[in-house]
Structure 1
Amino acid sequence: MAFLILLVVGASASNSFKYYLTEHQGALEIWKGKFAPMGKKMVIALPGTPAPQTSKATYSAGDVYPLIFQYYIDKADALLDVPGIPDFEGIKKALQAALEYGSTNTLREIAYTRLDNIDRLILIYKADVAASRGSIDDLTSAIGLLKEADRLTTDTAQETLIAQKIEGHEAAIAVLLEEQAAAEQAEAEAITAETSNSESEVPPETGQTVAPDTSNH
């Protein structure tokens, strides 16, 4: 009895590591063996994904995971290429799903790099929105966001672009500070001039001197 149980468990474990590929209505379906001597369940359907050129009766996780990984990477790229503001949250979800099937360090590094790129784009977008408001506080906030974005890239062109944006915002802040200082000085001078005019318009106080009475009574 113990030997039979061992055979069943061994067969079940072996079956659970097997994957099967089928094409159905333009989608590549990936099936996985159940933890049972026989039977399988569908893991995912990948629309538009072609089957591997070399067909096999069964596949391993190392065969099918890269297919699922690439499907989610392509999905993220498609969302990024849409006109207008991209669906950043949707892109991040697709990349995080790809990470689950990153079976090698190389694949995981691809996903992590793209996630960093998305976070960088989000930070730059937020910085541009803040800078468009034009106040000193908003420009300062934009600079902080750009510095965060700069830490997420090692690309020289991107670093140069971010540095130029920061430099432009710092110059805008300097101009605003000069204008603010000039306005404060003009206001102070106006108050001083108004005070001086008010003092000059006050008439001097006049008094009458009463001559002593020297008449004899």
Structure 2
Amino acid sequence: MFYVILFAMIAGFLALRLYSVLGKRTGHEQALPKPAEERVGAQAMPRTIDMTPEVRESANRPIEAGAESGLRAVISADSSFDVAQFVEGSKSAYRMILEAFWKGDEETLAWLVEDEVRGGFAEAIAERKAAGHVLDNRLVAIERAMIIDASVEGKVARITVRFDADIAAVTRDQDGNVVAGSLSDAVETHDIWTFARNLRSDDPNWKLVETDEA
């Protein structure tokens, strides 16, 4: 069972696609805005809580050693937290947010990211429109999603995920002519996104609060 509303939206959205549409920064693509704070929502992995919270990972171990203590704190504060589901959810959120940014879909971004992050996205989208440019990007693959940090500060849980992915990116002008990039060549990108959630809130959503490049 998944407690994040975001996933319900993602499920329907992704059902329309047979491939993942992931986003990354490239030399041809408009860079993601990086205001002081911007992060993405995510989800967690099934586990059992005993006397002492423990982090259980899959064979692929989507957790860096330095993040384990922080994840234990998250699990202690929220016994329903599931690492595996969170990682899968973060991939979907990553895909949806970048696709919305590429398309200039500010309505979708509004419920996926925090206000400050949304402001940065809106500014970048406006600049792109003013230049008469359109992004025609395609996700090739998410090679890896790894939790690299986690913490609980007061009532707020924060989890940082590193995404290593490949995309093909093209920038077109308002007439559809290619200005830069190529859809035939994939470019490696490495992003670090942080998701946050108030654990005492009735709102089950994790939202993007910060983005950066690895």
TM-score (norm 2): 0.24
> Which one has a larger percent helix, Structure 1 or Structure 2?
1
> Which one has a larger percent strand, Structure 1 or Structure 2?
2
* Higher relative contact order (CA closer than 8 Å, sequence separation 6+): 2
TM-score (norm 1): 0.23
